[in-house]
Chains A and B, each alone.
Chain A
C-alpha cells in the first residue's frame, strides 16, 4: 500500500542554519505530495504542496520539489528562525481511487536562538 517515510527526529538547529527534512514515498500512480506543519498547541496546517513531477512547492521560505525518479519530496529552508519550531508532516494523496491522505510520522524541529 501507499506509505510515506520521513527523516526521524527530533532535529535541533541554530537560528539561520540550513534545514533539510527528508521525505520519501511509495505509491502507485502519480500522487500529490504535501508538507503540513503543526505549531505548538495548534492543528496541522498546509505548508506547501506539489501535484506533479518536477513541481516545486514553496511557502514562508520553505521549498520542496516533487522528484519522481527518487520518489522524494524533501523539505528545505535556507535560513531557519526560532518561529519555525514545530512538527512537520509529509503526506501524499492519490488522485484516483481512495483519495485519503497518507502521512509520515512527523519530524519535530527545534530552532535555538
Chain B
C-alpha cells in the first residue's frame, strides 16, 4: 500500500534551535498534507493543513511563525519548529490525503521531539 516516510523518527535538540521534520509520499502524489501533534496523555491534535503550492492553514492556537510548513511539491512537506523550547516537546505526525479513487489518508510513523 501507499507509504508516507517521515523523518526523523526522534530528535533531541537544545532550546532555541530549529528542527525540521520531513514527510515524503513514496509512491503517490499528495494533494493535501496534515500535520498533527500529540502531547503526553492528550489527543492527537491537528496543527495545520497544507495544499501543494499554497500557504498552510493553521488551527486556532498554533503559531504560524513558529511552526513553518512548506509543501513545495506533491511528494514532500516539511514542518520546521523554529526556536524550539521544552514546551514544544511532543509527538508530531504527518498525514497525506489522496483524492483519486475516493479519499484516502496515509500517515507517517511520527517524530518524537524532545527539547532540552
Contact = CB atoms under 8 A, between A and B. Distances in A.
Contact of B43 (A8, A43, A46, A103): A103
A4 interface: yes
Contacts of A45: 107
A44 B46 contact: no
Q: How large is the interface on A (under 10, 10 to 19, 20 to 34, 35 or more residues)?
A: 10 to 19
B109 to A, nearest CB: 5
A106 interface: yes
B108 to A, nearest CB: 5
Nearest to A43: B107
B110 A43 contact: yes
Contacts of A103: 36, 43-45
Contacts of B4: 43
Contacts of B3: 43
A39 to B, nearest CB: 9
Given A103-B43, A105-B43, 14 more contacts: A3-B43, A4-B43, A38-B107, A41-B9, A41-B109, A43-B107, A44-B107, A100-B49, A101-B34, A101-B105, A102-B46, A103-B44, A103-B45, A105-B41
